[in-house]
Every structure is written in C-alpha cells, then in structure tokens.
Structure 1
Amino acid sequence: MLSVYVDLALGLVVSFLLLSLLVSGLNEAFVRLLSIRSKFLWAYLRDTMDGADEKSGSWLPAKVLDVFRVLPFLRDPRPRHSDRPAPTEPGKVPESTTGDSMIKLLYQRVQEIDHAKRGRTSISNIPPARFAVAVMELASAENGDVEEFLRKLQQIDSPLYGHLKGVWETAQHDLDRFRQGVETWFDGEMQRLSSLYRRYVKWVVAVLGVVVTLLFTMDGLEYAKTLLRDNAFRASVTAVAEAGPDAYEELKARCTGGDPVPCVTETLSQPALVTMLDQALVSVSIPAQGDPTVHWNGGLWWDRINTLSHWPGFLLTYVALLFGAPFWWDVFRRITGIKPRR
C-alpha cells in the first residue's frame, strides 16, 4: 500500500518539476531576448551616477507595472556599444551637467569586457572591485585629488557625490581605504539591486505560471486520480497474470472488444502524465510506426477551461508552480534518495 502513495507522490512531483522548468525556461528566454538584466543594471547606474531624467523621471521606475512597461520596450538605459579599448587616459568629470556623461565615463573603463547586442552594451554585471578601480581611475584624472573629484560630482549634481562623500569621510582621506570602501558600498548596492530584480521576476513567474497551467489545462487533482487509477490497473493486470485463466475473463470483460491484449498494451504505454499532456491546446503523438503528428485540441481545451470542476485542480497546479523548479527538484531528490554532489 505504501508503494501506491510513493508512486502518487513521485508522479505529482515530476509533473510539477517539469512544468516549473518550463516556466523558468520561458522566463529566461524573455530575459535574454529583451536584455532585462543588462537594462536593469544600467538603469540603476544612470539613477546613481547621473540622476533622474528631467522629462521621464527615474530610469528605474518604482512601480512594478512601470518596470514591465518601460524597461523592456520604451526606454533603453544601456550605453552604445564601442569596439574600442578603454582609453589610456581616463576622461575627466565635466564642469557642468552634460546628460549621461558619468555613464559614458564609467562605460569607457569597462567596455573591454563588452560585446554588442543590437548596438547596445550587453554588460549585465560589474564586479564591485572593478567598479572601485573605475572610480579610482576617474579620480586619477583629477590629478589623484579625490576632493576635486567629489567637488565636480557635486557641481554636476550627481547622486554619486553623496555616497562617495560618505565613504571618503569614513576612510579618513586614505586612498586605499577609500577604494575598499567604494567596493564594499557597491557590493551592498548590487545585493540590494538583485533583491529588487528577484521581486520583479516573481511577478513574471506568477504570470507565466497561469499561462502554462491553462495552456496545458493541467488539473492536479485529476492527475492524482489518474495516477491512482493507473496503479490500480497495473495491479489488476499483475493479478490476472498470476491468477490464471479465470481472472483473464474478468479483464476481458473490462476491456471493450474481444482481445484485451491491445487494451492492456495501449493503457500501459500511456502513462498518466502523457494522458494529461494530450489534453493541452496543442499535443504531439508518437505512433508505433510513422512520424510524430501534431494535434490541435481547441475544442477539448476550451471545454476543460469552461468546466468549473477543473478549476480547483488548476489552482492546485498553479500554486505548485509558484514554489519553483529548485523546490520540486529538492523534493524529488529526497523521495528518491539521490544525493547531491559535493
């Protein structure tokens, strides 16, 4: 009896794991296609180094809907890609505000690790140590005078001035401690930005979870019932094989048609997961002979969507997908006893 529940748990976990991987894959595809990570980073850098845009406000909107609407499609905060190596002499901070001048100066210090993506930079991560070195190089353009560098940042009204001023005072005007302080500060900012990015990604995963659940019309409760029915059918087939000719007549009566062998073969070759996926909007069948075929199940799919009794199962599947693929992989590993590599 215990094996029945183990089979049920494994079947549910595997199905939720596969669908969660699909959601994660779709999310990653959108992120890479729209360069969301890179845009997120450079929007933050523009806000931190050059300040909010006078016409459009902050480069990194505060509201979730504005982030989804602005960053992917309306505004691209990334600098233009350049194939040239970093200049030997770092550029100086201008005496007056000139748009995105600080972003250009920073990009010049890191452009050697860049490659183009539709004419823009593809850099999505700047190590804190590299950022600290870039700041020191910009300060060296002012003859190594950090005070003069901070004065010009204040003159162009750069938000970076307040952060670096605090680090400079904490370092007690020591250059080496100042560099370490900038590195520590930027590392903390990147952690905060990563937390903000993950919060927005959760909304994307939530939307994709709804899409995947309804696209496959994956009813978790119906799937569990199908798993139990399959297990019972396999048990009855085993009992027939062990009981002899008398039990064969009972199996023959359960299967429509004269010969139960094709019935048993077809049922055993159609696991519960395959049966559930066949009810998706588009399904693929692989016959014993011939090429795979694609089927459009619009009518069946719409009937399942309109059947209210399926919606509790849809809700169960959707909630399960919100836990994510790492969670279900960990559950699967614990059930099967697979040990992680060290």
Structure 2
Amino acid sequence: MFGSQVLETAIGIALFFLAVSLFVTALQEFIATALKLRANTLASGVDELLEQKKNLDPVIQAIINHPRVSPLDGKLSYICSTSFAAATMHVLGGIGDASKDQFNQLEIAIGNLPAGNLKSVLQLAASRAQGDVTKVEQEVATWFDESMDRLSGRYKRYSGYLSLGLGALLAVGMNLNAFAVGSTLWTSPVLRDQASAAAAAAIAKGATTVPAISADVLSMFGFQTFFATFPSGMALLGCLITAFAVSLGAPFWFDFLQSIVKMNVRGTGDKPAKADGS
C-alpha cells in the first residue's frame, strides 16, 4: 500500500539519521574527553564569573581552592552551588553562631573584596538578609546555580557546533546523501523491509547509546568508504541535509523512529480472527 510505503521509507530515513547520529555522538564524546571540553568550559566560566583576569585577590583564590569547590584529583567537571556558597561563607568568616557580631564580620569581609560580580551579589544578599547569615549563603547558592545554568547552555552550544561539524565531515566524506537514501528506500521493498526490521531491533535495545548499530545500518545503505568520491550539486545538498539532521541528536531520531514505527504497526490493522473465533 502507498501509505505503508511512505511510512516504511520514513522509518528507513529516520534509522539512517539515527545511525549517523550515534556515530557522531561517539566521536564527539571522544573528542570532548580528549580535549577536556567540559572541564575547560567550567573552569573558564568560573574564572569569568569571579573575574579572575581582572583581579587575583587572595580571598577569591581561597574560595576557588577551597576543598568544597576544587576536587582533590584536580579534575573539575561539576561544582555544586551549595558547596560553592558554603566555601564562600567559610572563607569570609560567615560561619558559626548567628550573632550580630558574626554578621558584622561578614559585612566587613564583603566590603574588603575587590569590585566585581561576587562582591555585588554578596552586598545585595547581605542587604536583604536582615542580619541572617544563612539567607546570605542561600542567595549566593541561587546566584551560582543560575550562573551554572547559563554556562551549561554555553557548553551545549559548543557541543552543537562540534556535532554539526563532525556531521558535515562524515556526510561529505562518506557521501551520506539524504536524497539518495530516500530514493533508494522508495524504490526498494527489500531495503525497506531490512530497515524496518533493523529499526524494530534498535528500539528494542534502546539504541540511543549503542554506536554498534551505526556500522550495520550504514553498510545496509552501501556506505563503507571514506572520501571515495566528493559530492557535488544535489548530492552535496543531500549531504548537508544529513549533517543538519544529525545535529538534532540521536535521542531526537530515536524518539521520532519510535513514533513512526508505532504508526506503521497500527497501519497494518488488527490481526484477523480465526474461524473458531479465537
């Protein structure tokens, strides 16, 4: 049926994009680990947040080097907002009993900080706290958490650029032409059946994190060599479409594949009842 042909072709294309996405994800993770991209992004973000290039104040250095902030092995990959706030309060002397003298000591320490983001946040927090040191710590934690959310967005953008670049390199290098894949699927019932079976197997395995599927699927579509030919014209456009599709990520294509496989199963209709009514 025409409707089944459309769905099976869509399943094959989605499977193809999933396979390439998984391969790109594996490469991306390898490169990110080798370059320590997450750790370097976090370290540079914290430096910007505390304006380390503008000043090397020993108090701020003490906060960064505090055991609650700096890991013992030196591999910085995550900083908890409450840990950062606790370290800040400890360095500034904002711990102990909740006395007026303690809060005054904290305000003096804040006043001695160099002008910058941290000082501004602490001054605002102290003015709102009404003498409660705990509230100051909570506001610092909230500020740091929000800053890390923005930094996470930056890392995702970096990852997206890397994914797009790797996708383009693979698509052009291996001539992964989305138009050719769609055309071949449309005219080959055998390939559509193979793709549908492979899609069902991928879904059963939860294949968003199984790069092994990539080699089998790409082989199924005939992609085995790298830079055997350089695409041009519509073939190049098809490769760029593949690169853009891959940048959407393996989870996107896995979810999409699941949805159209379910549509295809429903489209086949209910299993006919036997003559005995069973």
TM-score category of the 2 structures, normalised to the smaller one: 0.7 to 0.9
More RCO (CA 8 Å, sep 6+): 2
Counterpart for residue 130 of structure 1 = 83
CA displacement, residues 144-164 of structure 1 (integer Å, 9 cap, x when unaligned): 42112212213xx45421121
Q: Which residue of 2 aligns with 1:34?
A: 35
1:193 matched to 2:151:
yes
1:1-342 equivalences under 5 Å are: 1=1, 2-53=3-54, 98=56, 102-110=60-68, 113-115=71-73, 121-140=74-93, 144=102, 145-154=105-114, 157-231=115-189, 273-281=218-226, 301-302=228-229, 305-337=230-262
The one-letter code sitting in structure 1 at the alignment partner of 2:43 is: W
Cα gap change, 1:12 to 1:142, in 2 (>3 Å):
closer
Q: TM-score, normalised by structure 1?
A: 0.61
2:252, 2:168 → 1: CA distance?
Answer: 18
Decide whether aligned partners of structure 1 residues 328 and 100 sit closer, same or farther in structure 2, where only a CA change above 3 A counts: farther
1:171 and 1:181 in contact (8 A); partners too: no
Deviations 1:50-109 (A, max 9, x none): 5325xxxxxxxxxxxxxxxxxxxxxxxxxxxxxxxxxxxxxxxxxxx6567623442232
Q: 1:141 to 1:4 in 2, by over 3 A?
A: closer
CA contact (8 A) 1:14 1:332 kept: yes
Partner of 1:161: helix, strand, or coil? helix
8 Å Cα contact 1:167/1:181 also seen in 2: yes
| Bigger CA radius of gyration | 1
The CA distance in 1 between the partners of 2:31 and 2:58, in whole Å, is 28
Instruction: Specify which structure has the higher proportion of helix.
Output: 2
In structure 2, relative to structure 1, the CA distance for the partners of 1:221 and 1:163 (3 Å cut) is same
Gaps of 5+ in 2: 97-101, 194-215, 264-278
Counting aligned pairs with the same residue, the percent is: 25
The number of residue pairs the alignment matches comes to 233
Compared CA separation, residues 272 and 169, structure 1 to 2 (3 A) = closer
Matched-pair contact (CA < 8 Å) for 2:14–2:253: yes
Aligned mates of 2:5, 2:131 — CA distance in 1: 70
Superposition RMSD in Å:
2.9
Moved more, 306-315 or 318-327: 306-315
What whole-Å deviation, never above 9, does each CA across 1:109-136 have from its counterpart, x for those lacking one? 2367432xxxxx2121111111111111
Q: Is the 8 A contact 1:142 1:148 kept in 2?
A: no
1:71 — aligned with what? none
Letter in 1 for 2:219: V
Give the Cα–Cα distance (whole angstroms) in 2 for the partners of residues 112 and 40 of structure 1: 15
TM-score (norm 2): 0.73
Q: Which 4+ stretches in 1 moved above 4 angstroms?
A: 97-101, 141-144, 232-235
Cα distance in 1 between the residues matched to 2:133 and 2:59? 24
In 1, Cα distance between equivalents of 2:255 and 2:150: 27
Secondary structure of the residue that 1:181 maps to in structure 2? helix
Shift of 1:190: 0.9
